[in-house]
Structure 1
Amino acid sequence: MAAKPEDKTTDIPDRLYDANHRKTYKRMRFFGKGGFAKCYEIIDVETDDVFAGKIVSKKLMIKHNQKEKTAQEITIHRSLNHPNIVKFHSYFEDVQNIYIVLELCKKRSMMELHKRRKNITEFETRYYIYQIIQGVKYLHDNSIIHRDLKLGNLFLNDMLHVKIGDFGLATRIEYEGERKKTLCGTPNYIAPEILTKKGHSFEVDIWSIGCVMYTLLVGQPPFETKTLKDTYSKIKKCEYRMPSYLKKPAAEMVIAMLQPNPESRPTIGQLMNFEFLKGSQVPMFLPSSCLTMAPRIGTNDAIEDPNQRKPLLELNGVRDDTRLESTFLKNNLHDAITASAQMCRHNEDYRSDIESLHQQLTHLINEKPRLLQGNLGDENTDPAAQPLFWISKWVDYSDKYGFGYQLCDEGIGVMFNDTTKLILLPNQINVHFIDKEGKESYMTTTDYCKTLDKKMKLLSYFKRYMTEHLVKAGANNVTVESDQISRMPHLHSWFRTTCAVVMHLTNGSVQLNFSDHMKIILCPRMSAITYMDHEKNFRTYRFSTIMNNGVSKDLYQKIRYAQEKLKKMLEKMFV
């Protein structure tokens, strides 16, 4: 397979000079690309403040309307100032590019959350939807329709605060009752009145919020099909399925937003009065571990199990309280599920991750990607797919006690020889114990069951040894957890071979530490591989990028080796 020409950055200088504000920025890590723009982490050389630099190539803006669109995006975005809107700092240009300096959202977008978690709890959904509504209310109060609200345009900062971004399709309503006619939006989130070209206004954002909320709760967009034609057909008919496990307040709010008649949808202000938000306390924060694992919560909100799949209920967008009542009565049968059992995934769930990863690697190998002498360039990487958690240190005392490890965020875990596990959270206070059946118990370093006294002492020993004797691999900017609802990924299984240690985490990722000190982390949910070299540099590639553009010989050999080991893991699981 021929390798595609590598993206060049020759038109983007290493130093970006804003003459109007007399500021110089240093271009740092590649952050991603889309449309006409590339995004980099940039640093103000005077203050060391870090921003996202959205760089738009003038060469690609050939058509006049593309230039107008960028100008309108800047005009609208720079006028906004709200905690749930990506902050616009400044913009400037040179002969080659337009540079837009924005707030940096290090936790990427809610699209990555969706890919890693699929459906999330109602507790978490309430947290995100509340913030989305606050941001959109600010827009609507200022006569602005976003017109492209989707998971990929909802960004998250280090505190997991939602930041609405990408105003490329946004428009301003000039007078009351104005209806826009432009066909725009993203297929899975586009409102029916846009498709029918009847004219649209603020109601299209309400529809999109309904699609976002449904996707968070169910794990897939409401109108998603294999073809664009079928998706648009379902949207026009308002034909979607409502899972019976959703509680009534959540389902009612989604149904209200996904009304085919725009006038029947609630306004952005009315959304705050729905029971889903008013009837339960909206969380003030979520730990960053929620990006990959469900939180540990002792409230009724955590009782529902997002992984418990039940039959789907056909809906046509019209409220049917009789049908809903019978559906929600069934939910009472499931209300005894505890928070601990909620995320105690069975072995078949872990196996499905390994099966998926094995299939993806097998497909990649069968495609016979071109072998390269060196690595693909930075712009072929996908930093958004970089793992949130990996094992940075490990020690094997399985001849006596078990296997100890430290995660990149300073959390410590031990998998004992009797298959029980202890996890010390990064705050160095909270401890999770997991018994042989997978049941979780929660305690602290000073308040724990005395039957665990020996194991707690061993946990302290493992921690001390790794702190004093081992070098941390690939440290990065993961925020330390310090709250009471974190559930950290932990080691599900591990084994050693003649040239590697293979470790499988409960978030689905598989890490191989090779004897040549190279490391790879494979993620089935992001369909990506992260390669850590001797200098602890990270490079994350989508499998599709490798198939299209090639791969270094060394990394290809490690991929083949990983595929062989995954096959052996599957064989053992089926025994």
Structure 2
Amino acid sequence: MEVKIGDLGLAARVGPTGRCHRVLCGTPNFQAPEVVSRSGHSCQSDIWALGCIMYTALTGSPPFAGAPLPEMYQNIRDGRYPEPEHLSPSARSLITRLLAPNPAERPSLDHVLQDDFFTQGFTPERLPAHSCRSPPVFAFPPPLGRLFRKVGRLLLTQCRPPCPFTSKEASGPGEEGTEPDRMESSSEEGAPPCPESRVHLLTLGALQTDLADPEGDLAPQVEAATRKMHLCLDAGPMAAQDPPGEQQPVLWAPKWVDYSLKYGFGYQLSDGSSGVLFRDGSHMALHPPGGHVSYRPDQGTLWTFALRDVPSPLRAKLAVLRLFACYMQRRLREEGTVSTPVAPASPDFSLLTFAADSQALVLLFSNGTVQVSFRTSQTQLVLSGEGEAFLLTLWEPGGPRTGISYSLDVLRGHGCTPAIHQHLLLGLRLLQRIR
């Protein structure tokens, strides 16, 4: 990556003493103290101007601006300017050296190029086109980046060619059989997370994630999910038989894979899209059709890319996402399907967190949907929607593979069966573990 800055409109030849004429010239915001004081200036004044340019590029405004000209000139002489706290220590240090009031204390160009700001940390190989409109995303630390790059290199070839990501194929019949066993954890140099052994769908604990709000507090989402469960539990007297239900399109995760000890928790939605909640709290999803990718860094803003425009630092995470999606598409059976077409998930739809024990797994999504999957009975329970659109959808072994949905009015009129009541209590217990 090269940046060339040139402006020779006020260039002058350096005299025998190493100084130019004592003249006041140049853009006022970028003039060095020796230029303002007319004490004679030379190449060190250009170093000062580089400091102003660097400050402006990193903050969006020049270091010396917004004041009457005499006051601004005094600030320049004193080297007095705002120091943004959001800049990295290496950036602040280099700016301080470049904007030293004494020209002799400023670094040479060779020293600038050897500064930690340019030699340490992450430097992108290239910048995507969208950087002209919005900041590029560089979200994870180098150690995690190296890990995911290795995963991408070693493991992505295990599932080539890439699986198609279409709603039709993603909702087709899956692999039948008993519940998969636990996927064995492997070392970095070991087997890929796409082994011949089958996948255990439950795990103890929950991923660390701070996606709920800037403070990383999931309490509002958990409380909303808890209220939904209480609405069902308190809807009416215990029903002796199943209440009347109907088939409704429901967005939920019929497939998932837990590799959270090393990488993250992957899932496939009923609309055919796939997502991964990574160990660092970030979330990435691949949406059909068209294959656009949405990414939200930990406590960060949602970014959406075309598949071909995913930034280089995120390609390793994309490789892990596609690997998980390929594994789920090819090797995992579905826990039920929905025949009614499901509206595609919005780009900001994501898995916030999960919790599990030996009996059940609960998934909490960003739109308020709660999914509870039970290990022994293989029953799936999904609570979705709000108000009049609220639905409790149930998949049971031997029942319709499309699932049966119950509105809140139906539950109030007929109540829940003892089995549904017990499922809700187990899900409620797991939700309380997330608090």
Q: TM-score, normalised by structure 1?
A: 0.35
Q: TM-score, normalised by structure 2?
A: 0.46
More relative contact order in 1 or in 2 (CA 8 Å, sep 6+)?
A: 2
Relative to its length, the structure with more strand (as a share) is: 1
Larger radius of gyration: 2
